[in-house]
């Protein structure tokens, strides 16, 4: 039985790795050596040359700073706002707290495509269109409901006596939140940050809709220029660009996997 299970896991692992293998092998092929009939076979190694070609043709350097800004600032703000909401609803026992939670989390009920047109109209009329501030605001707003959901679940698992003891010791509500509850929720906060940062980094739809200039547009919409009619990039260059822009999120997961695993358990996803 154990051998059968091991064999099944090996087969599933190979199936999961097959797309990654195809991506790396074909991204490493020379531009003039790519053949659609031999996608499974390695043929030369021009990965770094394709990296440079994708970087220059898609102007990824111009969008890297903006994307890094969105992927750091928006998740941090969302984590703090979500933690504050969970703290108010669970710990402070906010009046009609469950209705407030439903109101916050209700933003995830409707698909993003349904609100895209009114969102675009609102941004265009308010002067936030094609600005970094506008992108940070929309990414933060989209990330808050999930953060509030996880932090509400996390704070529910903390004994009420912790808050009562802190109040008896003379702690203010904000100080209790900052000095006790936030440190206790460190792993859950880290897990939420990683998930939301990955979402923002990989976003394509909002970047295409709410930005236009290269200094504001996120990196994924810029990468799509390689596949356009006027991009003129071959498939190895396109694949190399996709591999290149995915490396930061992979590195983030590998560097913080311990906090992510603990956060998944503590946050009760």
- The secondary structure of 165-221, three-state, reads HHHHCCCCHHHHHHHHHHHHCHHHHHHHHHHHHHHHHCCCHHHHHHCCCCCCCCHHH
Query: What is the per-residue pLDDT for 136?
Result: 93
pLDDT per residue of the chain (269 residues) written in tens, 0 to 9: 677 888 888 888 888 888 888 888 888 888 777 776 777 887 778 888 888 888 877 778 778 888 999 999 999 999 999 999 988 888 888 888 788 888 888 777 778 888 888 888 888 888 888 889 999 999 998 999 888 888 888 888 888 888 888 888 887 888 888 888 888 888 888 888 988 999 999 888 888 888 888 888 898 888 887 765 455 567 788 888 888 888 888 888 787 777 666 655 554 44
Query: What is the per-residue pLDDT for 259?
Result: 67
Query: Domain segments of the chain: what residues?
Result: 2-45, 52-267
Query: What is the per-residue pLDDT for 263?
Result: 57
Tokens representing residue 114 in the block: 């349904």
Looking at the domain that runs over 52-267, which CATH code has it been given? 1.10.3720.10
Query: What is the per-residue pLDDT for 266?
Result: 54
Query: What is the per-residue pLDDT for 232?
Result: 59
Residue corresponding to tokens 């265009």 = 124
Query: What is the per-residue pLDDT for 201?
Result: 92
Q: Tally DSSP H helices, then E strands, for the chain.
A: 14, 0
């Amino acid at each position: 039985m154990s051998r059968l299970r091991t064999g099944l896991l090996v087969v599933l692992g190979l199936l999961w790795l097959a797309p990654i293998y195809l991506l790396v092998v074909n991204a490493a092929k020379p531009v003039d050596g790519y053949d659609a009939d031999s996608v499974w076979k390695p043929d030369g190694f021009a990965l770094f040359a394709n990296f440079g070609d994708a970087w220059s043709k898609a102007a990824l350097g111009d969008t890297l700073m903006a994307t890094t800004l969105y992927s750091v600032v928006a998740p941090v703000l969302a984590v703090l706002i979500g933690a504050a909401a969970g703290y108010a609803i669970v710990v402070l026992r906010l009046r009609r707290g469950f209705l407030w939670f439903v109101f916050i989390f209700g933003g995830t009920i409707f698909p993003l495509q349904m609100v895209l047109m009114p969102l675009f109209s609102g941004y265009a009329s308010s002067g936030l269109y094609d600005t970094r501030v506008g992108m940070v605001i929309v990414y933060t707003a989209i990330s808050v409901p999930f953060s509030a959901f996880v932090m509400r679940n996390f704070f529910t698992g903390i004994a009420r006596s912790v808050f009562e003891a802190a109040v008896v010791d003379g702690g203010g509500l904000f100080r209790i939140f900052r000095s006790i509850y936030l440190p206790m929720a460190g792993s859950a906060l880290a897990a939420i940050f990683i998930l939301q940062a990955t979402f923002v980094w990989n976003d394509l739809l909002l970047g295409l809709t709410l930005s236009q200039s290269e200094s504001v547009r996120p990196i994924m919409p810029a990468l799509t220029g390689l596949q356009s009619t006027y991009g003129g990039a071959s498939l190895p260059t396109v694949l190399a660009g996709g591999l290149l822009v995915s490396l930061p999120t992979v590195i983030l997961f590998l560097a913080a996997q311990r906090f992510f695993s603990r956060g998944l358990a503590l946050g009760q996803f």
